[in-house]
Structure 1
Amino acid sequence: MSRTRSVAGSALGPHRRSVLAATAAVSLSAGVGYALRPTDSQAATAAGQPAAGAPVAHSRRAPAAPLAPYTRGTTTATVATPRGSSGFRRLGDGPGWHRKVRGELAAPKTGRIGRRTALAAFVQLTDLHLIDAQHPMRLEYLRSTDVHAWRPHEALTVPGAISLVERINALRGAPVTGSPLHFAMTTGDNTDNNSGTELEWFLTIMSGGRITANSGDPRHYEGVQNSGIKQYWQPDTAVRDADKQLGFPHIQGYLAAALRELNSPGLNLPWYSTVGNHDSMPLGCYGLGDSWLAEYAVGGKKLMNIPASDAKKLQNAIRDAKDPQGTAFRDFLKSQARNMRSVTPDERRAPFTATEYLKAHLDPAYRGLGPVGHGYSTANLEAGTQYYSFRIADDVIGISLDTTDAGGHYQGSIGTAQLRWLDRTLRENKDSYAVIFSHHTSQTMTNTRPDPARPSERRHNGQEVVALLGSHANVLAWVNGHIHRNDITPHSAPDGRSFWEISTASHVDFPQLARVIELVDNKDGTLSIFTTCVESAAPHRTDFTDLSQTGLAALYRELSYNAPGANMNLGGDPKDRNTELVLRKG
């Protein structure tokens, strides 16, 4: 039985690539399905041993019949496509995205389709950004200088994420090989504002249960969308706000529907979690520890509108990391006290620490199909870390990194201890292929300011991580998010070692995607990684009178497409969407 391991754990144990090859245990051509069971995992203790009585989670069983590709509900079949050419554009069914073969790292060889065998298949979700839309710490007022700083659909992140869970649950196999999907991995920014409300909603969505995406007054909404301020969409009234002038609809009952209790079925396969900067820090950029900001987060005042000049100064300070601890932000908020509106205080909005984040994942209430802790363990609690390794298949390991920097700023890096642990884990498992997971991309790991908890420890940027991964022949892929855009980059080392970096678009900005990733052995000296984007289960076409859970999820997508200032290039180029990525076998 394989086990989830943490930084405090030992090696992942023996692997049987030669046995698999000899027995053709995963041979698709022979019609044999193999449940790779990455989720026979248990929370590890500090000594690296399984905790007594820890629940064991099981992956889906392989189907008895020969496996067949399953493309229904993926973007190879159909993609949400706008109708019309101006104004508020409605969405409908459009043609699917073709698969692109990429051979920058190895030439694809003929006949590989008949030879290949599946190694593993899983789903990546990233940048869900579950938003407590009434939270006092939100920066909606930056919209006075940047129209994209507030999105009209932010009150619908919960029904949107539930619909994505429903889509993943409906996939009956992998789109190319038909292999069972063995687990899901979230690669950070699961929450938006380091808020206890958002963390509770995220864990419930993933593991299953009922959610009311409301905070403050339990009876009604208290935020910018019923404020009467015309720079925000006021859906429930006939006020001609800035968004309605662009064609946004008047939807009576929208806010009441957004606050209704919803139900998530939870993922029907095990899931793992990786931390992002919005999970670690208020607003994704300010270091924890300011008691005044913590009190403001749960208090009864909210700033909703400021002049564009003030908004520009604040936005520049965030972008340039001029105020990583939030000191100037705190002083700014104090100076705006007379301009704030009264809202209902709510202790549930309190910022959470790294320790509280780990404990929440370990809470039995959010176990779902496991594994216990969703990758995190009591060893992480004892060591004060948020990185770990786990067994994906008999000859594939997964490694989840923590690329956030508690010193502040939204860009990332890792400390020396974690870099050495990564190197050691790859060396100790050199007979297994490896998939690396993180929130930040290699290009966005540029923040090397010290971690306040480890002030003497050096921080390492993305290029140093690329160099380390390139020194190990067993690394196949580095899977991440953060940039809210589909982007796939080949990395090669001088000695011919290579891997693919796969960055996936967010689920808060259009086109709101997740990604299925399949690893296969082509039996010709090459491997292929197949990537297939998936949308939520909500229909592309919306009905403004349908305020059901499904109707809200469809509206979430359509509003995100029409959001003023929305970047229409986040879906990436065809080579960054549905692909076959070929590389030489290490």
Structure 2
Amino acid sequence: MSRRSRLAHQPLDRRSLLTAAGAAGITAGLGVAFGTGGDPAGAAPVAPPAPTRTPSPASTPTPTPVAPSPVGTTLESVATPRGTGGYRRLGEGPGWDRVVRQDLAAADGRREDRRTVLASFVQFTDTHVTDVQHPVRFEYQRAGKPGAWRPHEALTVHGLISLVERINSLRGGPATGAPLSFVMTTGDNTDNNCRAELEWFLTAMSGGRITPNTGDPRRYEGVQNSGLPLYWQPEAALRDLDKRHGFPRVDGFLDAAIAQVTSPGLAIPWYSTVGNHDDLYGGHYASDPYFAELAVGDRKLYSLPEAEAAALHRTVREGRDTRGESLKRLLRAHARAMRTVTPDPSRAPLTSREYAEAHLDPAYTGAGPAGHGYTRESVAQGRLYYSFRAAENVVGISLDTTNPDGDYRGHITASQLRWLDRELARHADDHVLVFSHHYSTSVRAGGAELLALLKRHANVVAWINGHSHRNRITPHGGFWEVTTASHVDWPQLARVFELVDNRDGTLSLFTTCVESAAPYGTDLGDLSRTGLASLYRELAFNAPGRSTTLTGEPGDRNTELLLRRR
């Protein structure tokens, strides 16, 4: 399929998990999106649409119950650097222990033998599928901050496909053995509000062929063959910034990076949450005709003087110029320094409505559900938040914390808060999992109100999010906030969640980090999809200027989070 062909439960106790009789209980109800209406001008909520058809057995095989197992997770092993010096190779290292956190409730030593599984699912976050040749990218900020550009970004598709393969290989939750019911993405699925990026992401998640290339179909056109020492030039002898840090020369890298690959797609249903990079240029700038024209055009800026690059980076980090006026002036001032590239309409931006509508394309249904949480009704309203039945007695709520007027920080409207209040009240007898892209302290507008609202409802178990690219788990009175690292920056993780009732007045939420299925060791001569996925991980670890705190503390990674059953 060409890159331009689209877009123009029953609860189970520990013993019964090991019997075939309870094999598929947890998957009951999946694929049903409640899709209750928004709250335009205080109007009454729209009636829920008819349930989405659950995927057929042919598309979603019935899971086989297995015993709990660390295999394929960071309980078993973790990618670990070898040796010393600048560029370090990776190998297999010891896994991370599970930490029992009792901030919200005490642990009863007998809970393991009597607990009942309520839900088992996976979180992907911040995959940042990237069109590295897009004219509206800000690689040139690297002149002022080395970490502002990633030398491994050309391999985001390969890394995501390998993560899909890892989840498909897991036969059950590592703490309970319960079949995994669904995957939820918590935003920044793409990098730069680009049609091509969204097509690649949807295909990687749902299955099919991807050609991660825009512009000239015969060759790469971007900063990595520009001859500029600011960027890693993988196929040149040039001693660029990254090679000074020990990065290797890899002949054939760029042709391999843009060659067609195939994703098997997830074998379980998946849902989608929007992030600021899905909605805004560079995750910060609001839609503008100037940027839209530049995106599909034939001119691209590759470099800036260090002082200007540093000033631009500070402007974004401080949340200024969200409408992009100073950025437009900067780009116009450097118009003569822009290079010619092949124009491509697939680089065009999407409105929020178009972003959600793309998920409804039958070509991307995969294991389901149709729309991956979005419905025709929500799309018609331009509404990117919804609720869905995650399991019997468990409801998921996906929020939209992006700001269409610009700003990488979070934003939630009063109307969405009113809708959320009604949803939480409507499901007072269910356990509720809330998903969003932004974490609590990054929601600049409405964040305090959102946190207070979640605290008022006793049925909220967890608020699961991303955005920071860092593992962090925070107690909030009666529920846990779980923030997961990205799959673009080291340590490149996703997270498995297992919710259980301990039958002693408490619940436990198990969290287990997982890496992609790619081998830890790399072979620089292996430019296959799998070999490139391994290199993707290794390059991320070695990226100059990367943050070294994103892994978090042990209590932010593999955990058992106890809370009172209210």
Counterpart of 1:474 (choices 433, 452, 459) is 459
TM-score calculated relative to the size of structure 1: 0.90
Residue 35 of structure 1 contacts residue 61 of structure 1 at CA under 8 Å; is this kept in 2? no
The whole-number CA distance in structure 1 between the counterparts of 2:415 and 2:554 is 38
Query: Structure 2 counterpart of 1:371, which letter?
Result: P
Q: What's the CA shift for 1:38?
A: 4.0
The gaps in structure 1 that reach 5 residues or longer are: 1-15, 449-459, 493-497
Q: Which residue of 2 aligns with 1:491?
A: 476
Q: What's the CA shift for 1:382?
A: 2.3
After superposition, the C-alpha distances for 1:224-268 in whole angstroms (9 at most, x for unaligned) are 000000111100111111211111101110001001100000000
Query: Structure 1 counterpart of 2:124, which letter?
Result: L
SS in 1 for 2:326: helix
The whole-number CA distance in structure 2 between the counterparts of 1:42 and 1:513 is 27
After superposition, the C-alpha distances for 1:512-559 in whole angstroms (9 at most, x for unaligned) are 000000000001010000000000000000000000000000000000
Residue 137 of structure 1 contacts residue 302 of structure 1 at CA under 8 Å; is this kept in 2? yes
The whole-number CA distance in structure 1 between the counterparts of 2:340 and 2:492 is 34
Q: Within 5 Å, which residues of 2 pair with 1:197-208?
A: 197-208=196-207
The whole-number CA distance in structure 2 between the counterparts of 1:58 and 1:73 is 27
Query: Structure 1 counterpart of 2:26, which letter?
Result: A
Q: Which residue of 2 aligns with 1:83?
A: 82
Q: Which residue of 1 aligns with 2:295?
A: 297
Taking a change above 3 Å as real, the CA distance of residues 239 and 533 of structure 1, as seen in their structure-2 partners, is: same
Residue 397 of structure 1 contacts residue 432 of structure 1 at CA under 8 Å; is this kept in 2? yes
Q: What's the CA shift for 1:110?
A: 1.2
Residue 33 of structure 2 contacts residue 389 of structure 2 at CA under 8 Å; is this kept in 1? no
Residue 464 of structure 2 contacts residue 482 of structure 2 at CA under 8 Å; is this kept in 1? yes
The whole-number CA distance in structure 1 between the counterparts of 2:369 and 2:63 is 22
Taking a change above 3 Å as real, the CA distance of residues 58 and 28 of structure 1, as seen in their structure-2 partners, is: farther
The gaps in structure 2 that reach 5 residues or longer are: 1-8, 38-45
Residue 353 of structure 2 contacts residue 380 of structure 2 at CA under 8 Å; is this kept in 1? no
The whole-number CA distance in structure 1 between the counterparts of 2:36 and 2:431 is 25
SS in 2 for 1:72: coil
Q: Which residue of 2 aligns with 1:546?
A: 526
The whole-number CA distance in structure 2 between the counterparts of 1:522 and 1:35 is 17
Residue 35 of structure 1 contacts residue 62 of structure 1 at CA under 8 Å; is this kept in 2? no
Residue 526 of structure 1 contacts residue 583 of structure 1 at CA under 8 Å; is this kept in 2? yes
After superposition, the C-alpha distances for 1:450-494 in whole angstroms (9 at most, x for unaligned) are xxxxxxxxxx12x221111111111000000000000000001xx
Q: Does 1:378 align with 2:376?
A: yes
Residue 35 of structure 2 contacts residue 387 of structure 2 at CA under 8 Å; is this kept in 1? no
After superposition, the C-alpha distances for 1:291-322 in whole angstroms (9 at most, x for unaligned) are 11110011101100110111112112212222
Q: Which residue of 2 aligns with 1:5?
A: none
Q: Which residue of 2 aligns with 1:328?
A: 326
Query: Structure 1 counterpart of 2:523, which letter?
Result: D
SS in 1 for 2:13: coil
The whole-number CA distance in structure 1 between the counterparts of 2:379 and 2:484 is 29
Q: Which residue of 2 aligns with 1:95?
A: 94
Residue 194 of structure 1 contacts residue 278 of structure 1 at CA under 8 Å; is this kept in 2? yes
TM-score calculated relative to the size of structure 2: 0.94
- Aligned residue pair count: 543
Residue 63 of structure 2 contacts residue 171 of structure 2 at CA under 8 Å; is this kept in 1? no
Q: Which residue of 2 aligns with 1:309?
A: 307
Query: Structure 2 counterpart of 1:472, which letter?
Result: H
Q: Within 5 Å, which residues of 2 pair with 1:396-411?
A: 396-411=394-409
Residue 62 of structure 1 contacts residue 179 of structure 1 at CA under 8 Å; is this kept in 2? no
SS in 1 for 2:510: strand
Q: What's the CA shift for 1:49?
A: 4.9
Q: Does 1:27 align with 2:13?
A: yes
Residue 120 of structure 2 contacts residue 181 of structure 2 at CA under 8 Å; is this kept in 1? yes
After superposition, the C-alpha distances for 1:10-50 in whole angstroms (9 at most, x for unaligned) are xxxxxx9xxx6xxxx41222445323334242686975354
Query: Structure 2 counterpart of 1:429, which letter?
Result: H
Q: Within 5 Å, which residues of 2 pair with 1:142-291?
A: 142-288=141-287, 290-291=288-289
Taking a change above 3 Å as real, the CA distance of residues 549 and 334 of structure 1, as seen in their structure-2 partners, is: same
The whole-number CA distance in structure 1 between the counterparts of 2:337 and 2:310 is 18
Residue 277 of structure 1 contacts residue 285 of structure 1 at CA under 8 Å; is this kept in 2? yes
The whole-number CA distance in structure 2 between the counterparts of 1:553 and 1:222 is 21
Q: Which residue of 2 aligns with 1:559?
A: 539
The whole-number CA distance in structure 2 between the counterparts of 1:516 and 1:83 is 27
SS in 2 for 1:229: coil
Q: What's the CA shift for 1:56?
A: 2.7
The whole-number CA distance in structure 1 between the counterparts of 2:490 and 2:473 is 18
Q: Which residue of 2 aligns with 1:3?
A: none
Residue 43 of structure 1 contacts residue 371 of structure 1 at CA under 8 Å; is this kept in 2? no
Residue 35 of structure 2 contacts residue 386 of structure 2 at CA under 8 Å; is this kept in 1? no
Q: Which residue of 2 aligns with 1:12?
A: none
Query: Structure 2 counterpart of 1:347, which letter?
Result: P
Query: Structure 1 counterpart of 2:143, which letter?
Result: S
Give every structure 1 segment of 4 or more consecutive aligned residues whose post-TM-superposition deviation is greater than 6 Å: none
Q: Which moved more, 1:310-319 or 1:40-49?
A: 40-49
SS in 2 for 1:356: helix
The whole-number CA distance in structure 2 between the counterparts of 1:528 and 1:396 is 14
Q: Which residue of 1 aligns with 2:3?
A: none
RMSD of Structure 2 on Structure 1 (CA): 1.6
